[in-house]
Structure 1
Amino acid sequence: MQNGVPCGAGIGGGSAQITGGFSGQEARDLAALVQGGALPVPVTTVEQSTVGPTLGAEAIRASALAAVIGLACTGLFVIVVYRLLGLLATVALLLYGLISYAAVVALGATLTLPGLAGFVLAVGIAVDANVLVFERAREEYAALGRTAARDLRRPVTTAFGKVWSAVADSHITTLLAAGLLFVFATGPVKGFGVTLAIGVVTSLLTAMVVTRLLADLALRLPAVRRRPAVTGIAELGRLRTRLTRRVPRLTARRRRWLTGCAGLLLVALAGIGVRGMEFGVEFTGGRVVQYAADRPVDADAARAAVTAAGFPDAFVQTTGEGDVSVRVKETGDGEQREIREALTGVAGPVTVERDDLIGPSLGSELRTHALLALGLAVAAQLLYLTVRFRWTYATAAVAAMTQDVLLVIGLFAWLGKPVDSVFLAALLTVVGYSVNDSVVVLDRLRELRRRGGGVPLTDLADRAVAQTLPRTVNTGMGALFVLVALAVLGGDSLTDFSVALLAGVVLGMASTVFTAIPLAVTLETRHPAPAPAPTPTKRRRTGAVV
């Protein structure tokens, strides 16, 4: 909706929602008619939102433009790095977008910022699956040597088979979180779960089926077979070549890395304790009004004017484009007129672009359900990873994810950014990225241990990081293109969301290397897995079992 007032009404312990293109006065008249009509129950407004037509149109246009530019840059990057296979993956990525959009339209869902967050995460997962396959195909091509040049499909087919475990684990853990968010959360967080589930299923289909079919057809072409370099898998790449020559000794200094991560956590927790969290109106109840002024106004001047009008606890923010956002606990129209008159004195005539009213009961419900869904999602991921790996690996992955979440929260506390439903959606996206990244590296470590041949665990861990680091960098770059485009072109409504995701993606890549792997090695060293029992063999002559 670009212009109107969707209203939620609490009716006798239940709730009902009336949506439409109402003005503020029309919404109040409608509430009076319902309250004075045939319903023998009291009616109270729990949520009301007014969006100006200019703000709605600009947000939609900016979001669409940012998404198109970000996806185009991601596709171009994948093509440059992986050539023909990258082109095929980009085609599959476009198909992913069409299928996901069709699913949203078929469900009749409205795409909100949290919903957009779900799609961003799913795009990252889709790109990650393709990058994981292509990097593994490069390894298989190098191992096969001249044999691979005669049959280019062999290294690609082998790569799809070997990465299936990591792809399945990352998709299932994300799907578990999406399902729990849909069942237990409410409002925008539920929308995040819906779009994330659609995106995860679609990305699995396009990455592991569509890309594989296209690659199989393309690698049969005689022109491609004569020129293996065009496929993108005939060379390891600069980063992988350097890491192969000299594997970094990261786990030898694991205590240093864990100590550094603990120090960052203390800084984040200090920000939460010292600065506190600025909870948005969705979680506290109150009213947020965004005004458009004729001329830019300084934040301090606007804050002083609102305070002088009798609202010392108001939270006031400004932008360089002349927008002023005011959040107060008071929800009456009289108070809003006073604030508007105060701003007019320092910024000239102002117009209302957005007016959000949330009742305290709805804010408490959203906060409770969101925290419950997040806790259950983390518990489900921990249980699944414990079953798939060992409890040591699962603990390391969840600890790295928890660290990323706390660091992003601490960053927002120090910056004084509001914690609202959009930030919560970004935080859930950070959870998905962090767990997905850790699962890939831990899966490679598990594979190396199965055929380790007595190699020390620390050396195997270093190899796992070195072998998966190119995939981590390339996947992160693909996600960063989308997020930077959203941050630059998405406008004020997407800035905080993009900042949280940018921080989360960077922290997620770093936490896998400097937290998850060192912690997994430390736990495995202190609590080693029991040696597998020898398999009984039978002697043909005596039938004795030895």
Structure 2
Amino acid sequence: MTSPGVVADVGCKVGITGGGTDITGDFTLDSATELAALIEGGALPLELDLISDRLVGPTLGAEAIDASIEAGIIGLILTGLFIIVVYRLVGAMATMALASYALLAYAMLLALDSTLTLPGLAGFVLAIGMAIDANVLVFERAREEYAEYPSAGLRRALMVGFNKAWSAIIDSNVTTLLAAALLFLLGSGPIKGFGVTLSIGVIASMISALIIARVLSELAVSNKAVEQRPAVSGLGNIGKVRQWLDSKDFDIMGKRRMWLGISGAALVLAVTGIVTQGLNLGVEFSGGRQLDYSVSKEVSIDDARAAVSDAGFEAVVQEADTADFTIRTGEITDDEEQQIEDALREIGGEVTKEDDQTIGASLGQELRDKALIAFGIALAVQLLYLAFRFKWTFGVAAVVAMAHDVVIVVGVFAWLQKPIDGIFLAAAMTIIGLSVNDTVVVFDRIRERWHGSKPEDAFNAMANRASIETMPRTVNTGLGTMFILAALAVLGGDSLRDFAIALLIGLIVGTYSSVFTATPLLTYLQDKWPMSRVKKERVVREPDDSGAVI
């Protein structure tokens, strides 16, 4: 008895008689036949028959892919314009470097012969955010330096800005690379793809921000005309947001109990939604039903998707060679199947159902387990790295903030009954990266202020000051990334809208949690397990130094 099989995305399927097992992948007819022969010649005493040969189109569809590319380009242009408006001349140089990032990342993708998937797109969105963040960090530091020592000149201020921002940039990128490497090594399927493209994006963004942007910016501010008119450079003042924050002198940490209370209430609300509403698991996680239809009129894939969606069904709609459309949806009744058929009949005329079969979860239990293990180990390694670079209390606060962000986004999707599928999985991975990146920047400034501080200086006051000093960077980086996500939400079509919405929610929650969740939590941990004021330095002893105290 041969198993009914599950259709592969592209290619052929091999069935094992007597075992009810399918092997799916990117096979041609020849390669599938060769695979069957190889398995037959091995240790399995089973006869193999080719039971299915089907070709289906991409999940997103050509028009959706074109729309996502268009949205990405528009988002990058808007982000570039925003950076130029805020940082003027050096912002223009950073925008040119950002364009080089896109070329570098694409070239590296081609060199590795990688396939760009939706999780891969998520990895690039995260890397773009990190590239923007690196430039914003440097420029904000340079503004502070020039405001303090204007007579030293713009070029020196910019160089000091790069030097002071270096540790925050390295820490945020290293934590992301560690997570990406572990996701690649331990994950599979979309998890592995996310790890590959995220690694490529992070490396390209670091080259863009730390080499190309630095060279262009230093050349730009070295001009005598720019030195005489520092306002043109974008580094001539600390900015209106920072001026307003300094004038108000907010005591954020003085209300730390209230901020943590708000975060706790948000978590309770999110968990309530998950428990009472349940998670609307997509077909990748839960399995369901696959339907193949042919129609008498010419209908585009996007019109078919819209018709199925308007009928009230969340489904993956693709083109196929054995029928006009293949529709994968969750478990549905025959009456609900008839509703899908009626929806297609309204736009496509006569409808013929070519195939109807039950399918298993494509992400499956094994993939889900691997994903959870990969996430868990990635978070543990990030905690260890932050404990090594800062203190274990910093790592705990950062990881708790990450979990806080993801749970809230999952809760929002539960309340809205939006699907938890492969698209959401890609968004969740990106939210984790954005959250830790933002938190590390704030923590880096806290550490810098605390080391070498006087005994009368309170940690809470240092943390409060660091939060205010990094807030312009947080606002500008968030807005820069938001342009790209908003463009994907508006122009990316139905396939990418939920992805962009999840990231927008995660970006807002992550920006909040870095200052109002992670930092207040850190202050409570500091009260119980204080961090030393003295920065640990490696002492290099001279060869003739006996170590004796005279």
Match of 1:192 among 191, 194, 217: 194
- Corresponding residue for 1:123? 128
Paired residues for 1:456-475 under 5 Å = 456-475=458-477
- Corresponding residue for 1:311? none
- Corresponding residue for 2:295? none
Match of 1:261 among 260, 263, 270: 263
Q: Distance in 1 between matches of 2:343 and 2:271?
A: 36
Query: Cα deviations across residues 467-512 of structure 1 (Å, max 9, x unaligned)?
Result: 0000000000000000000000000000110010000000000001
1:365 deviation in Å?
A: 2.4
Answer with 373-382 or 451-460: which moved more: 451-460
Contact 1:316/1:324 (<8 A) preserved: no
1:452 deviation in Å?
A: 2.6
Contact 1:293/1:350 (<8 A) preserved: no
SS of alignment partner, residue 251 of structure 2: coil
Task: Say if 2:56 is the partner of 1:50.
Answer: yes
- Corresponding residue for 1:449? 450
SS of alignment partner, residue 75 of structure 1: helix
Could you state the TM-score of these two structures normalised by the residue count of structure 2?
0.83
Task: Say if 2:26 is the partner of 1:18.
Answer: yes
Match of 1:87 among 92, 95, 110: 92
1:219 deviation in Å?
A: 2.1
Q: Which amino acid aligns with 2:180?
A: A
Contact 2:288/2:359 (<8 A) preserved: yes
Q: Distance in 2 between matches of 1:385 and 1:506?
A: 23
Paired residues for 1:222-301 under 5 Å = 222-287=224-289
Contact 2:89/2:234 (<8 A) preserved: yes
Answer with 271-280 or 113-122: which moved more: 271-280
Q: Distance in 1 between matches of 2:76 and 2:52?
A: 38
Task: Say if 2:424 is the partner of 1:412.
Answer: no
Query: Cα deviations across residues 67-116 of structure 1 (Å, max 9, x unaligned)?
Result: 00000000000011001110110111111100100111111222111110
Q: Distance in 2 between matches of 1:474 and 1:462?
A: 19
1:19 deviation in Å?
A: 4.2
Contact 2:14/2:48 (<8 A) preserved: no
Q: Which amino acid aligns with 1:413?
A: A
1:201 deviation in Å?
A: 0.8
- Percent identical among aligned pairs is 47
Answer with 490-499 or 182-191: which moved more: 182-191
Answer with 132-141 or 7-16: which moved more: 7-16
1:289 deviation in Å?
A: 5.9
1:212 deviation in Å?
A: 1.1
Q: Distance in 1 between matches of 2:366 and 2:274?
A: 23
SS of alignment partner, residue 329 of structure 2: strand
Residues 87 and 10 of structure 1, relative CA distance in 2, 3 Å threshold: farther
Contact 1:46/1:358 (<8 A) preserved: no
Q: Distance in 2 between matches of 1:74 and 1:246?
A: 29
Residues 376 and 41 of structure 1, relative CA distance in 2, 3 Å threshold: farther
**C-alpha RMSD of matched pairs (Å):** 3.8
Paired residues for 1:108-507 under 5 Å = 108-145=113-150, 147-148=151-152, 151-287=153-289, 302=311, 316=314, 327-329=329-331, 340-343=340-343, 349=349, 359-360=360-361, 363-453=364-454, 454-507=456-509
Q: Distance in 2 between matches of 1:491 and 1:187?
A: 24
Contact 2:291/2:328 (<8 A) preserved: yes
Q: Return 5+ residue gaps in structure 1 as ranges.
A: 21-26, 304-314, 537-542
Q: Distance in 1 between matches of 2:196 and 2:306?
A: 39
1:126 deviation in Å?
A: 0.3
1:221 deviation in Å?
A: 1.9
Q: Distance in 2 between matches of 1:38 and 1:235?
A: 70
- Corresponding residue for 2:108? 103
1:284 deviation in Å?
A: 2.4
Q: Distance in 2 between matches of 1:368 and 1:46?
A: 28
Q: Distance in 1 between matches of 2:357 and 2:440?
A: 40
SS of alignment partner, residue 455 of structure 1: coil
SS of alignment partner, residue 25 of structure 2: strand
1:345 deviation in Å?
A: 6.7
1:343 deviation in Å?
A: 4.2
Q: Which amino acid aligns with 2:232?
A: V
1:373 deviation in Å?
A: 1.1
Residues 350 and 378 of structure 1, relative CA distance in 2, 3 Å threshold: farther
Q: Distance in 1 between matches of 2:58 and 2:112?
A: 26
Residues 243 and 288 of structure 1, relative CA distance in 2, 3 Å threshold: farther
Residues 544 and 432 of structure 1, relative CA distance in 2, 3 Å threshold: closer
Answer with 517-526 or 129-138: which moved more: 517-526
Q: Which amino acid aligns with 1:448?
A: R
Could you state the TM-score of these two structures normalised by the residue count of structure 1?
0.83
Contact 2:87/2:235 (<8 A) preserved: yes
Q: Distance in 1 between matches of 2:532 and 2:431?
A: 34
Contact 1:400/1:516 (<8 A) preserved: yes
Residues 348 and 410 of structure 1, relative CA distance in 2, 3 Å threshold: same
Q: Distance in 2 between matches of 1:5 and 1:350?
A: 27
Match of 1:64 among 37, 55, 69: 69
Contact 1:294/1:349 (<8 A) preserved: no
Q: Distance in 2 between matches of 1:340 and 1:285?
A: 18
Q: Which amino acid aligns with 1:67?
A: G
Residues 385 and 37 of structure 1, relative CA distance in 2, 3 Å threshold: closer
Contact 2:452/2:533 (<8 A) preserved: no
Counting matched residue pairs gives 509
Q: Return 5+ residue gaps in structure 2 as ranges.
A: 1-7, 41-45, 293-300, 318-324, 540-546
Residues 36 and 433 of structure 1, relative CA distance in 2, 3 Å threshold: closer
Q: Which amino acid aligns with 1:440?
A: V
Q: Distance in 2 between matches of 1:377 and 1:483?
A: 25
